Amino acid sequence: MIPMNHYLVVSTILFFVGIYGFIARKNMLAVLISIELVLNAVEINFSVFNRYLYPERLEGMFFSLFGIAISAAETAVAIAIIINVYRNVQNIDIRSIDKLKG
């Protein structure tokens, strides 16, 4: 059996790589990809804690399951928005939509 911390280290790295991408990237799709990384890290954590701490129960796994479904929904909407932005300003640079209001 692999120690639990190993999984946690992997998910932590994944998470903060995602954070870096979210902050540093300019392309909106790249930002979205970073968000997917962060979500993945979270889902790994849910499953790992479930498996190691409460193996007789299933909540963590179902959280991961629902998380996957919700991230699918979120991606769909986000991509729709990005396409709309592209249609309006002809690029998907995140700096082009920093106007508050309007």
Partner 1 sequence: MEFTLLIVAVPLLMFFVLGLAGGKMSHRAAGVAGTLGMAVAAVLSYAAAFRYFFAEGKVDGVFQEIIPISVEWLRFSDKLHIDLGVLLDPISVMMLVVITTVSLMVHVYSLAYMHGEKGFQRYYALLSLFSFSMLGLVVATNIFQMYIFWELVGVSSYSLIGFYYTKPSAVSASKKAFIVTRFADLGFLVGILLLSYYTGTFDFGLLTGDKASLVLESTAGLSFMGVSVASWAMALVFAGGAGKSAMFPLHIWLPDAMEGPTPVSALIHAATMVVAGVYLVARLFPVYYFAAPDVLAMVGYVGAFTALFAAVIAVTQTDIKRVLAFSTISQIAYMMVALSVSGYGGHDGLGYMASMFHLFTHAFFKALLFLGAGSVIHAVHSNEMGDMGSLRKHMPITHITFLIACLSIAGIVPFSGFFSKDEILAAAFHHNQLLFAVLWVVAGLTAFYMFRLYFNIFWGKAKTYDGRHAPHESPLAMSIPLLFLALLTCATGFIPFSQFVSGDGAPFATHTEGNIALAGTLAALAGILAATRLYRKGGERPAKIAASLGGLYRATLRKFYLDEVWLFITKKVIFRYFSDPIAWFDKHVIDGSMNGIGWATQQLSSSVKVFQNGKVQFYAFVFVAGTFVIAIWALFL
Partner 2 sequence: MELSSNLLIFYLLAAFIVASAILAVASKRIMRAATYLLFVLVGTAGLYLMLNYHFLAAVQLSVYAGGILILFLFAIFLTNPKGDAAEPHDRRRVVMGIAASLCGAAVAGFIILKQFFLYPIPDTAIGDHEVSMKVIGTALMGTGKFQYLLPFEALSVLLLACIIGGILIARKS
- Is-contact 92 28, C-beta < 8 A? yes
Q: How far is CA 30 from the centre of its chain?
A: 11
d(CA 86, CA 3): 46
- Smallest gap, in angstroms, from Cβ of residue 19 to partner 1? 6
Q: Restricting to residues 6-65, name those near partner 2 by CB under 8 A.
A: 6-10, 12-27, 29-30, 32-34, 36-37, 40, 43-44, 47-48, 51-52, 55-59, 61-62, 64-65
| Nearer to partner 1 among residue 20 and residue 54 (C-beta) | 20
Site string for partner 1, 26-45 (x = CB under 8 A): -----x--------------
d(CA 53, CA 45): 12
- Smallest gap, in angstroms, from Cβ of residue 16 to partner 1? 9
At which residue do the structure tokens 């919700």 appear?
70
- Smallest gap, in angstroms, from Cβ of residue 25 to partner 1? 8
Nearest to 85 by CA among 100, 95, 71, 73: 95
Report the interface residues with partner 1, using CB under 8 A. Answer: 19, 22-24, 31, 94-95, 98-100
